[in-house]
Structure 1
């Protein structure tokens, strides 16, 4: 039985083109991951603050290199898309940003990000989220982006608000972290929302 509603974004929209690099204000770039980023990823995941909000732990540079291989391969699968956030001049890694759980037919995805400790407090995450969101809406044609974070993660709540993601509610006991179950704030941004 055929669907009455056409796909919002056609299958193959991402897979048939190269993953882009996107300039970010402040001398940054969102770019595809490189194998040379593995030491930076490993170092980032040694940070206790990053570990608090993530389920994965990097035990070695080799393991981080494996993650990067997975992140690079995800592009063609069109379910997730991962980018490094780097200094445009030095190419030093300052964070990661992703579109996860993409449902192209439904025009939806979830934004996820982290920054290295030295990059925090400089507006990097909100700027990168804004640039990636604009690209997802204008170039890909997505309709809705969601952003979730633990209620206790106030820094992520600020990132969501600064990048135009409106609060929609609380998902009770939604994610298990090392210290137990966390309620999660749900924010969303719709194509056409004003930032």
Structure 2
């Protein structure tokens, strides 16, 4: 199984490199990231634990998280893309991602999702990948569809943030689906 993937000027590599703790701490300092985070990342120790958790999940085979790194920008971390909830019996997994504020709008999330999907099909042998986003998040919907994930439906009031329930649109991509046409990332 390959532990890194290169695509469109990006490198997807497992978390754990020097500097990753600082990158995670910086990413989670952004208000939108903090709002959506399942647990706060408020300190260097929180960020270390976040990175350690990703390394442990990889070693257990339960989830595979990649730092999305700018190959040409000095190796700056631009985000995270992951395949979690891996079910070997049914050959399924759940794709999630986050992108730093400075990298948004450049196609980074789309390219990372395409690459991690191809990796999950080819290297993990998965057949079906799922992802979901709040219906009030059109940017995530664009990422999902541009990465080849077909819309499957809406899960009503699935998520709860600040006492408000949000509908989630579900998407899936199958190993037998045609790969989406490549789009170069924006400069």
The two structures have a TM-score, normalised by structure 2, of: 0.90
Q: Which residue in the other structure is 2:169 paired with?
A: 185
Q: Is 1:32 matched up with 2:14? A: yes
Does the 8 A contact of 1:54 with 1:177 survive in 2? no
Q: Which residue in the other structure is 2:57 paired with?
A: 74
Q: Which residue in the other structure is 1:11 paired with?
A: none
Q: Quote the RMSD (CA, aligned, Å).
A: 1.4
Deviates more, 1:50-59 or 1:146-155: 50-59
Deviations 1:131-181 (A, max 9, x none): 110111122210000011111111111100100000000011112223522
Aligned residues: 177
Offset of residue 55 of structure 1: 2.7
Inter-partner Cα distance in structure 1 for 2:138 and 2:41:
24
* Structure 1 gap ranges (5+): 1-16
Q: Is 1:122 matched up with 2:106? A: yes
Q: Is 1:63 matched up with 2:57? A: no
Q: Which residue in the other structure is 1:109 paired with?
A: 93
SS at match of 2:55: helix
Inter-partner Cα distance in structure 1 for 2:165 and 2:38:
12
The two structures have a TM-score, normalised by structure 1, of: 0.86
